[in-house]
Amino acid sequence: MTTLLWTGVALLGGSSVLLDAWFSHGLNTTPDVMSSLKTAIYYQQLNSVLVIISLILAGKSPRFIHILPAWCFTLGIIAFSGGIYGKHLMALNTGMITPAGGLITALGWILLAVSGLGYIQRSRQSGF
């Protein structure tokens, strides 16, 4: 599963750079749409970094809770940024996909905090 996340985050991070270049240099659209697309890029890039950090922190932990933040951040990218891209680039009615992506991302942050508290507790118990 971790290999899938590493591959996915690499593709999401790389595609964010390519999309940003296209939006900045080749896409002819209104300022409002461009602002929305730039927001999607920003969160795609930020959350890609969060997936990497989550994966590093999870390491080889046998506990599933440690990998959950990475999954939430990845799904958050797909839903939040993907919803914005679908709306503006493909004229799709994305409905609640974008807000759901935001909620999933917030859940990732909460799970990261819970996972971090677990690491702190285990470190204290083992004498580190």
Q: Minimum mean pLDDT among 8-17, 22-31, 79-88, 113-122: which range?
A: 113-122
Q: What is the residue type of 65?
A: I
1 or 36: which leads in pLDDT: 36
Tell whether the model's pLDDT for residue 123 goes beyond 70: no
- Calculate mean pLDDT across residues 102-118: 90
Nearest to 40 by CA among 12, 68, 11: 12
Alpha carbon distance, N-terminus to C-terminus of the chain: 29
In the prediction, which pLDDT does 9 show? 94
pLDDT confidence bin for 57, thresholds 50/70/90: confident
Tell whether the model's pLDDT for residue 128 goes beyond 60: no
